[in-house]
Amino acid sequence: MAVIADTEDVGALYRVLAKRLEQLVRLDVRAPDPVIEDACQAAWSRFVDHRARVRVDATLSWLVTTAVREARRLASRDQRELSLDDALEQVAEPTLRLRSAPVEELLEQRERLAAVGQLPERQQRLLWLHALGLSYQELAVHEGYTRRTVERQLLRAKRRARELAAE
Q: What is the pLDDT of residues 89-130, one digit of tens each?
A: 655 454 544 455 677 777 777 777 788 888 888 888 888 888
Mean pLDDT across 128-151: 89
Rounded Cα distance, 77 and 166, in Å: 38
Q: Residues 69, 35: contact at Cβ < 8 Å?
A: no
Q: Crossing angle for the helix pair 59-80 and 7-28, nearest 10 degrees?
A: 50
SS3 content of the chain, % helix, strand, coil (to 5): 75, 0, 20
Q: What is the pLDDT of residues 46-102, one digit of tens each?
A: 998 888 888 888 889 999 999 999 999 888 875 565 555 665 565 545 454 445 567
